[in-house]
Structure 1
């Protein structure tokens, strides 16, 4: 795996910074010249060029204007915005609550045909029951101290999950056995959620694998990741949602997913693990 899940974002930031530096050099200006003409502190030019500080849209417009490269401003602003969207802190995405975040994924879900999802901690959102989603999103809301719109967020999550029943899509879903055992909500909530897993296994579009505690590991447990059509990967960290688009990094996640698949059990063996977890709820 990459040394840092945010490496794609950093590479994109560095590319924007390099283009800005080239524009300055082509204009025959020093970093100090640029800072004076833009009216900002002399260290700011250096921090932007070294990808230490992301430039604002206004910074890019001022930079290109001073350097006589206004025609490049729009492209640079678009590239900078893309770089910043790759590593998005949850506190920014969730500042108004959770409903809008649930709805923001709908366009991506609608255009994706092949989903590959791995989770080592919670049931993937596609498969969550209303009770399980309520317990999980309530915990997230309390932890982050954000506005409480859990009922609306749960409704939005359930609405977007209709894609799982679309026969024209494919879902390869992997969970660690720990997902079956972690108690999200009360016993009744967990029993309902585990029963839901048994039900979705019969859907023709869904392949659900469970990696047993007893599996001989050739691939260690990872952070939750969602792979969309070999084009994009979303990685869920505690503090941020990381979007990976670089083909080499997407390929690395696909490779890891394939190795995790080899550890999983399916069909009757997976059902046995789920049923065991239900029975152990008492």
Structure 2
């Protein structure tokens, strides 16, 4: 759970606690008895230790005479859920819906900062590479197989590489050039595609060599969209970071990693070496 999500949950709990006290319930036990809940539930919600469901919020507001605030608080609770979305929830009908959801974010963004330590960033992927990635996800998460549609949606992002005045700063770990996604033929095509993309005017691609001296641990991948949103992917969920001070940390991490990267011909040399590896 992100710091922002936890702080929002605690703020929601504090507001509900105020409603309880204003209604004359001095203790959580008396209020819990009224609602037919275990008293620990009231305490956990008020201190941000447990999510309040929509039904919980409606019952709470009704019992304290604060019905007019119920919908706003429910919207707040939903926002907490959006800050940390499990992949199983996002892909319950397949991967295409998640890919489609990303398109408006890409359309709005003017400045992209991307860190991928061990794979090629989605917008740079070839169709064959992306197909393998989605097939792996289908097997791992066991969601409906709509790989063809998901790949098509992912490839839609690539038009933004050529439209408008967007800028792309993309950092890849050298491992991303060697993580074998789909076999030698797929990897060779993908790496050649990466070389071509490096020639685009508004695209900057840096490679952090495996033996480079770094100023911070390589950590997990993240994608920054202007200074408004950071998406962080884990094996279980996707976290949305929107709080300014947290975004500043990711910007600082990106700048630190950038100091370890190679660009231009030195970066191309690393890619060519990887292509040679998959030809052998």
Please tell me the TM-score bracket, short chain as reference.
over 0.9
Range moving further from structure 2, 265-274 or 160-169: 160-169
The Cα of 1:121 is off from its aligned counterpart by: 1.6
> Distance in 2 between the 1:152 and 1:167 partners?
26
2:88/2:141 contact within 8 Å kept: yes
What per-residue deviation string (whole Å, max 9, x for no partner) do you get for residues 160-197 of structure 1?
Answer: 23212224101110000000011000111000100110
Asked if residue 144 in structure 1 is aligned to residue 141 in structure 2, the reply is yes
What per-residue deviation string (whole Å, max 9, x for no partner) do you get for residues 224-266 of structure 1?
Answer: 1011111111111111101111111000000000111111111
> Distance in 2 between the 1:13 and 1:152 partners?
36
What per-residue deviation string (whole Å, max 9, x for no partner) do you get for residues 68-106 of structure 1?
Answer: 112222221111111111011111111111111111111
1:166/1:205 contact within 8 Å kept: no
Q: 1:99 is matched with which residue: 75, 96, 101? A: 96
Gaps of 5+ in 1: none
2:117/2:173 contact within 8 Å kept: yes
Provide the alpha-carbon RMSD of the alignment: 1.3
1:34/1:63 contact within 8 Å kept: no
> Distance in 1 between the 2:181 and 2:228 partners?
32
Asked if residue 50 in structure 1 is aligned to residue 47 in structure 2, the reply is yes
The Cα of 1:37 is off from its aligned counterpart by: 2.9
Give the alignment of 1:88-167 within 5 angstroms: 88-167=85-164
Asked if residue 9 in structure 1 is aligned to residue 5 in structure 2, the reply is yes
Range moving further from structure 2, 263-272 or 29-38: 29-38
1:96/1:147 contact within 8 Å kept: yes
Q: Any idea what SS the aligned residue of 2:230 has?
A: strand
Counterpart for residue 205 of structure 1: 202
1:94/1:101 contact within 8 Å kept: yes
The Cα of 1:135 is off from its aligned counterpart by: 0.7
Gaps of 5+ in 2: none
TM-score where L is the length of structure 2: 0.96
Counterpart for residue 240 of structure 2: 243
Q: 2:184 is matched with which residue: 182, 187, 208? A: 187
Q: 1:263 is matched with which residue: 244, 260, 264? A: 260
1:173/1:208 contact within 8 Å kept: yes
Q: Any idea what SS the aligned residue of 1:242 has?
A: strand
1:167/1:205 contact within 8 Å kept: no
Shift >4 Å, 4+ stretches: none
> Distance in 2 between the 1:118 and 1:91 partners?
24
Go from structure 1 to structure 2 and tell me whether the alpha carbon gap of 1:274 and 1:167 turns closer, same or farther (over 3 Å shift): farther
> Distance in 2 between the 1:25 and 1:113 partners?
47
> Distance in 2 between the 1:93 and 1:161 partners?
22
Counterpart for residue 169 of structure 2: 172
What per-residue deviation string (whole Å, max 9, x for no partner) do you get for residues 20-70 of structure 1?
Answer: 112111222122232233333333212211222211112111111211112
Counterpart for residue 230 of structure 2: 233
> Distance in 2 between the 1:22 and 1:276 partners?
63
TM-score where L is the length of structure 1: 0.95
Q: Any idea what SS the aligned residue of 1:53 has?
A: coil
Asked if residue 27 in structure 1 is aligned to residue 51 in structure 2, the reply is no
Count of residues paired in the alignment: 278
